[in-house]
Amino acid sequence: MAFDNAAFKRHFPLFEHAENTRLVYLDNAATTQRPSCVIEALTDFYSRYNANTHRSSHRLARAATAMVERVRQATAEFVNASDRDEIIFTRGATEALNLLAQSLARTLEPGDQVLLSAAEHHANLVPWQMAAEQFGLELCFLPDHNGEPQLERLPEFLNGRLRVVALSAASNALGFRIPVERVKNLLPECCRLVVDASQILAHQRVDVQAMGCDFLVGSAHKFYGPTGVGLLYGRREALSALPPWQGGGEMIRQVRLQSSDYAEAPHRFEAGTSALAAIAGLGAALEFLEGQDRKAMATYESHLNRYLHTELEALCLKRPLQLLTRFENNVGIAALVPSPQCKLAASDIADWLDEHDIAVRVGHHCAQPLMESLGQSGSLRISLAAYNNREDVDRLLQALSVMPLDEDVESAAPSTVEGWVGDDLSALSLQELSSQSSWQKRYRQLTRWATQLSRKPAIRVPEHQVHGCESEVWLVHRVEADRHRFAIDTDSRVIQGLSILVLLLIDNRTRRDIEALDLEATFAELGLEKYLSPSRSNGFRALLDQALALVRASSRD
């Protein structure tokens, strides 16, 4: 039976709202949308049987407890665990990986090794770094080819000290699958295999027994479930050997003043009150997915992903863009970067797509080591789900095809003076921007303004970098005769143009003048208020906040 994409999409009420009827949502690797049944399950829990589980004797608590254990059983069946007690509920994959890093590390000896890959999401890297520092462990990394771990090199690490191998089943940044099912048979009995399945659970069936892993983690919001809940599968023998990570209610058998006895798994690892409504939503998501023809669904996604990559490859021959990903063995993620001759940064392209109501993600995608190994600071990521279709892909391609990526403009000459000087913006005025009649014209005006921001190599040092921006931005400030002077540098064309705007507003002004400004209102009048949201995709809020903080700090000195 063929997969019915239109019928599938009708389950998702977000797309039915008037403001979303033209939305092309291609940020599914970050979070998927929720079907009605998941939303209804959250409401049903709070409206009918909201209560704490396990220890209360009243009927609401019994109903809540029955729900949690029913969802635990459904989760076990979803990943083909042997028993429901092999399933632990966490707040997400990140918490599950922190739990494993801390608990497993307590069973190891100083000098024991943990093997990872450079392609890991930070959630499967930073917790192991913290555990290694705390317990004297050694982190090792599989060699890679174009970012993809070379599993055939794994035998080189079997030196008697390897105790944990922790790998993602698919890259969240580039989408390639990793055949983790080949790993366990290569490992000695004493070595545990941890699999981060966050990026595959929405796209294929997972069988932990066939995979041979000791532990597997995932986040519900990646496969049509609610935020705030994740799953941790642990093989019974592996779980029983782990000490608890967090202490508190529910995870104990008996508490004394000087010591405690802990419950058996899974409750040993579920300290405190769980996200009960989210667990109810997880149960609805699992039932929803089990009601689909998963094989036909995967085939549909594969065909759509092939179309996306084929068309992007053709587009990259015509436009100054580079495609980092390929269709083969890919879970539905395409990553684009500007070519060297492109005049814009990836964040500028994402901003252009947002104006066309196309939602993508830009940045390093919590995979900085992977992006750096490819010589990139980040990428524009397009990620598919089963409710996407060819019309969505065509809308994306059309927007990219008309974007002014390669306008021949001459940038201001780089500043060569020692230290830094500000830019001479006396020839510019706010009227130039406010007089533009549409967002497309304002966008082009910003990109024209961007050429007036000179390159300032002297300020491109870590102490001047603005944190909270996906694009690299540097800001410096000093006070001259009670007037605040600023200089800004960035490679993002849109941030360059917006920087010109903010410099027109606050540069060479007194603190009193700056404090009297209503910057929020000015941006709203210009139709640019979205840039003041705390979004890392444009990061302009972080730049403006840092500039204003420098004004306040200098006035206290």
For β-strands 379-383 and 215-219, DSSP reports them as unpaired
Q: Mark residue 538 as left, alpha or beta (left: phi above 0; alpha: psi -120 to 50; beta: remaining).
A: alpha
Tokens of 252: 């104990």
Structure-model confidence comparison of residues 415 and 491, the more confident one? 491
Q: What is the CATH number of domain 37-290?
A: 3.40.640.10
- Is residue 326 very low, low, confident or very high in pLDDT (cuts 50, 70, 90)? very high
| Rounded CA separation 71/65 (Å) | 10
pLDDT average, residue stretch 66-75: 97
For every residue of 295-359, DSSP letters joined together read: HHHHHHHHHHHHHHHHHHHHHHHHSSEEE---STTBSSEEEEEE-TT-SS-HHHHHHHHHHTTEE
Helix residue ranges per DSSP H, 464-539: 493-506, 511-516, 519-525
Tokens of 30: 């970050």
pLDDT at 414 over 50: no
**Confidence (pLDDT) at 375:** 92
pLDDT at 136 over 80: yes
- Is residue 209 very low, low, confident or very high in pLDDT (cuts 50, 70, 90)? very high
Same fold, 37-290 and 430-556: no
Cα of 142 vs its chain's centroid, Å: 23
Q: What angle do CA 439, 445, 446 make, to 5 degrees?
A: 90
**Confidence (pLDDT) at 556:** 59
**Confidence (pLDDT) at 362:** 92
pLDDT at 226 over 60: yes
Q: With pLDDT > 90 as the criterion, what percentage of the chain qualifies?
A: 69
pLDDT at 407 over 60: no
Q: Assign 488 to helix, strand or coil.
A: strand
**Confidence (pLDDT) at 417:** 38
**Confidence (pLDDT) at 207:** 98
Q: Is residue 366 annotated as a catalytic residue, yes or no?
A: yes
Asked which of 151-165, 196-210, 309-323, 468-482 is least confident by mean pLDDT, the reply is 468-482
Instruction: Quickly count: other Cβ atoms within 10 Å of residue 105's Cβ.
Output: 22
Tokens of 475: 């800001």
| Rounded CA separation 216/71 (Å) | 17
The residue among 129, 167, 113, 174 whose CA lies nearest residue 366 is: 174
- Is residue 72 very low, low, confident or very high in pLDDT (cuts 50, 70, 90)? very high
Tokens of 93: 């994959």
Q: Mark residue 144 as left, alpha or beta (left: phi above 0; alpha: psi -120 to 50; beta: remaining).
A: beta
Structure-model confidence comparison of residues 15 and 499, the more confident one? 15
- Is residue 381 very low, low, confident or very high in pLDDT (cuts 50, 70, 90)? very high
**Confidence (pLDDT) at 406:** 59
**Confidence (pLDDT) at 501:** 87
55, HSE (Cβ side, Cα atoms, 13 Å): 9
When mean pLDDT is compared over 193-207, 452-466, 516-530, the highest value belongs to: 193-207
Q: What is the CATH number of domain 430-556?
A: 3.90.1010.10
Per-chain mean pLDDT for the chain: 92
Domain 5-30+293-402 is classified in which CATH homologous superfamily?
Answer: Aspartate Aminotransferase, domain 1 (3.90.1150.10)
For every residue of 4-59, DSSP letters joined together read: -HHHHHTT-GGGGSGGGTT-EE-BTTT-----HHHHHHHHHHHHH-----SS--SH
pLDDT average, residue stretch 201-212: 97
Structure-model confidence comparison of residues 405 and 382, the more confident one? 382
Q: With pLDDT > 70 as the criterion, what percentage of the chain qualifies?
A: 96
pLDDT average, residue stretch 94-107: 98
**Confidence (pLDDT) at 536:** 63
pLDDT average, residue stretch 355-380: 93
pLDDT average, residue stretch 389-406: 92
| Rounded CA separation 130/76 (Å) | 30
**Confidence (pLDDT) at 541:** 84
Report pLDDT digits (tens) over 150-174.
Answer: 999 999 999 999 999 999 999 999 9
- Is residue 416 very low, low, confident or very high in pLDDT (cuts 50, 70, 90)? very low
Structure-model confidence comparison of residues 162 and 423, the more confident one? 162
pLDDT at 413 over 60: no
- Is residue 419 very low, low, confident or very high in pLDDT (cuts 50, 70, 90)? low
What residue ranges do the domains of the chain occupy? 5-30+293-402, 37-290, 430-556
Instruction: Quickly count: other Cβ atoms within 10 Å of residue 155's Cβ.
Output: 10
Q: Assign 255 to helix, strand or coil.
A: strand
pLDDT at 509 over 70: yes
**Confidence (pLDDT) at 68:** 97
Q: Name the strand (E) or helix (H) holding 442.
A: helix 439-450
What is the pTM for the complete model shown? 0.86
Check if the beta carbon of residue 226 is closer than 8 Å to that of residue 38: yes
pLDDT at 214 over 70: yes
- From the list 191, 342, 366, 469, the catalytic residue is 366
- Is residue 418 very low, low, confident or very high in pLDDT (cuts 50, 70, 90)? very low
| Rounded CA separation 10/382 (Å) | 22
Asked which of 194-198, 209-213, 252-256, 486-490 is least confident by mean pLDDT, the reply is 252-256
**Confidence (pLDDT) at 502:** 87
pLDDT average, residue stretch 454-471: 85
pLDDT at 276 over 80: yes
**Confidence (pLDDT) at 153:** 96
Q: Assign 233 to helix, strand or coil.
A: strand
**Confidence (pLDDT) at 347:** 87
